[in-house]
């Protein structure tokens, strides 16, 4: 597993959930601790920008879910493709202000290729349905 991949995040979540955390308080505290530990590890091997990008990803996805706005797939794809490179701000702003995930999707496609992004978005939609 690569750090920053959706698979590593999912494995961490599943491991935390399997420990028998009882919702909501204990589970939330342990998951928050695991999230913070993961950010520390990413910072150790990566950059502060990568940690900032992941924090923005979590915040933006929470906002999109709360407001029922489509676009979390492209923000995941773009973040995975451009993590820590300082290229996500304009696309995130476009999504946040105009509900337009197009810039993020175009960035992801430019960095990772159409086939990889198509596959990632299809997988993402499948997990959410």
Cβ(37)–Cβ(52) under 8 Å?
A: no
Kindly give the interhelix angle for 72-82 and 114-128, rounded to the nearest 10 degrees.
130
CA distance 109 to 107: 5
Structure tokens at 110: 């430019």
Mean pLDDT confidence for 25-36: 54
Where is average pLDDT lowest: 27-41, 59-73, 111-125?
27-41
99: DSSP letter = -
| Domains of the chain, residue spans | 1-46, 49-129
pLDDT tens digits, 76-125: 999 989 988 899 999 999 999 999 999 999 999 999 999 999 999 998 88
Is the backbone peptide bond immediately before 55 cis, with ω within 30 degrees of 0? no
């Amino acid at each position: 597993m690569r750090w920053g991949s959706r698979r590593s995040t999912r494995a961490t979540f599943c491991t935390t959930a399997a420990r028998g955390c009882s919702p909501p308080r204990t589970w939330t505290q342990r998951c928050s601790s695991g999230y913070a530990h993961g950010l520390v590890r990413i910072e150790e091997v990566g950059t502060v920008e990568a940690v900032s990008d992941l924090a923005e990803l979590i915040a933006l996805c929470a906002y999109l879910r709360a407001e029922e706005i489509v676009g979390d797939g492209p923000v995941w794809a773009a973040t995975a493709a451009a993590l820590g490179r300082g290229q996500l701000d304009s696309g995130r702003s476009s999504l946040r202000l105009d509900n337009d995930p197009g810039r993020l999707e175009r960035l992801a496609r430019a960095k990772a290729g159409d086939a990889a992004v198509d596959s990632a978005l299809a997988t993402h939609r499948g997990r959410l349905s």
